[in-house]
């Protein structure tokens, strides 16, 4: 039980750390230019007629664009965020970290990047971008992170470099993934296409074929009716919340040996669409199926730690199915002890209340719930 909890925490930590680390480049190379207090992601209002704000005296770098700031302690970073910028300035060749988020940029063309061959990290989030020319990153062989979430893209940009490790395209209007968009991107670990307008026809069998190292895929909040085809089996995290998915093919997760987090909240899943053993995935730790139309509890593997089944149509639960083993009987064999410690069943049709109290939200992990008998605190 400890080992399972440890594994879960380690994985959660790994993903969390990933998220934290990738928000900003590593400390050693990242500028700590003091920023004015600002809301996390200010929504651009309207661009003003004023030129971009000039902060402070001219930079000691002659190539520092006047609308940006260049810190001598971080010569590899160019800070141009929150500056009322409409056109990307010429990027100095030494730039590795480029901050252009929260501006009014509508197009990304190749010219400003022509000598910026060292770029590793570009943040273009929260602009008005509807077009990224396909040759922009042609001469940027080492680009690792590209963040273009919260823009107006209608399709996945062409010509993205094969070196990418993280690609964030969430909150655009993407309804098209041109063939070959992700080809050769064997180093990509995170692909975020959350909150777009992608439908089943946009995801061919080969769309994700080359993404052999993908760990996190977010396709939540699109208009998928089916599970996306050809999703890489290297995934640890698959998010598909808020689509219109009504079923999962029987062998969909065959060969997924690392998959730990699956979210399918707010879809149209019913018992009919879920083959009996489809979620019997040994590596799975967290399964979220809230706000669907399930009438029974799907079968899951004994390693599962978190199960969200709230707001479905479940009328009864079989305690033996949720807790198939007795804690005492198997306490010598730890591999047999079920690890479920967070279970949500609120918003179903469970009545009258179960004697164990397991039918309502168990808000305080680690709460181990032995249905029909008792709940134990681990």
Ligand X SMILES: *[C@@H]1O[C@H](CO)[C@@H](O)[C@H](O)[C@H]1NC(C)=O
Q: By the criterion CB under 6 A, which residues form the site for ligand X?
A: 90, 114-115, 162-163, 187, 277, 280, 282, 299, 301, 318, 320-321
Burial class, 12, CB count within 10 angstroms (exposed 0-12 / middle 13-18 / buried 19+): middle
Looking at beta carbons only, is 12 or 162 nearer to ligand X?
162
- 339 within 8 A of 304, measured Cβ to Cβ: yes
* Least distance to ligand X, CB of residue 175, Å: 28
- Work out how close the CB of 335 gets to ligand X at its nearest, in angstroms, rounded to a whole number: 11
Q: Identify which of residues 229 and 327 has a Cβ nearer to ligand X in the complex.
A: 327
Contact 262, 241 (CB under 8 A): no
The minimum distance between CB 375 and ligand X, in angstroms, equals 19
Task: In angstroms, give the least distance from the CB of 112 to ligand X.
Answer: 7
- Taking the least distance from each CB to ligand X, the nearer of 193 and 281 is 281
- Rounded distance between C-alpha atoms, residue 295 and residue 333, angstroms: 33
Q: Closest CB to ligand X among 4 and 170?
A: 4
Closest residue to ligand X in the complex (CB):
163
* DSSP conformation class of 155: B
Closer residue to ligand X (CB): 268 or 301: 301
Alpha-carbon gap, residue 128 to 111, rounded angstroms: 19
End-to-end CA distance of the chain: 9
**What minimum distance in Å lies between the beta carbon of 140 and ligand X?**
11
Q: Say which residues have a Cβ less than 8 Å from residue 160's Cβ, sequence separation at least 6.
A: 137, 146, 167, 181, 182, 185
Q: How far is the CB of 186 from ligand X (least distance, A)?
A: 7
User: Considering beta carbons, is residue 153 or 190 the nearer one to ligand X?
Assistant: 190
Angle at CA 45, nearest 5°, toward 40 and 50?
110
DSSP 311: S
Pairing type for strands 77-79 and 97-99 reads: parallel
């Amino acid at each position: 039980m400890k080992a399972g909890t440890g594994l879960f925490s380690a994985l959660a930590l790994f993903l969390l750390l990933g998220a934290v680390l990738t928000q900003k480049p590593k400390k050693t190379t990242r500028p700590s230019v003091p920023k004015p207090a600002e809301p996390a992601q200010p929504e651009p209002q309207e661009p003003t007629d004023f030129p971009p704000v000039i902060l402070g005296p001219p930079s000691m770098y002659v190539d520092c664009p006047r609308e940006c700031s260049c810190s001598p302690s971080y010569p590899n970073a160019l800070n141009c965020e929150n500056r009322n910028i409409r056109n990307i300035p010429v990027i100095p060749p030494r730039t590795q970290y480029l901050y252009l988020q929260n501006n009014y940029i509508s197009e990304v063309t190749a010219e400003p990047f022509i000598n910026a061959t060292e770029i590793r990290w570009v943040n273009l989030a929260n602009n008005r971008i509807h077009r990224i020319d396909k040759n922009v990153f042609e001469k940027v062989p080492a680009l690792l992170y590209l963040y273009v979430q919260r823009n107006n893209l209608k399709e996945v940009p062409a010509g993205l470099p094969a070196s990418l490790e993280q690609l964030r395209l969430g909150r655009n209007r993407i309804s098209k993934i041109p063939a070959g968009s992700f080809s050769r991107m064997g180093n990509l670990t995170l692909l975020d296409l959350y909150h777009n307008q992608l439908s089943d026809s946009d995801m061919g069998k080969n769309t994700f074929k080359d993404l052999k190292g993908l760990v996190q895929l977010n396709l939540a909040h699109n208009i998928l009716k089916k599970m996306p085809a050809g999703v890489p089996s290297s995934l640890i995290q698959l998010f598909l919340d808020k689509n219109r998915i009504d079923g999962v093919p029987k062998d969909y997760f065959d060969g997924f040996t690392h998959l730990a987090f699956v979210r399918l909240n707010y879809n149209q899943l019913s018992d009919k669409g879920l083959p009996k053993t489809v979620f019997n995935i040994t590596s799975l730790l967290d399964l979220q199926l809230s706000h669907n139309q399930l009438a029974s509890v799907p079968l899951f593997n004994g390693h599962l730690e978190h199960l969200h089944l709230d707001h479905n149509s479940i009328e009864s639960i079989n305690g033996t199915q949720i807790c198939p083993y007795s804690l005492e009987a198997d306490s010598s064999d730890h591999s047999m002890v079920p690890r479920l410690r967070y279970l949500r069943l609120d918003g179903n049709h469970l009545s009258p209340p179960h004697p164990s109290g397991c039918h309502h939200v168990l808000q305080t992990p680690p709460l181990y719930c032995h249905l029909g008998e008792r709940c134990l605190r681990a």
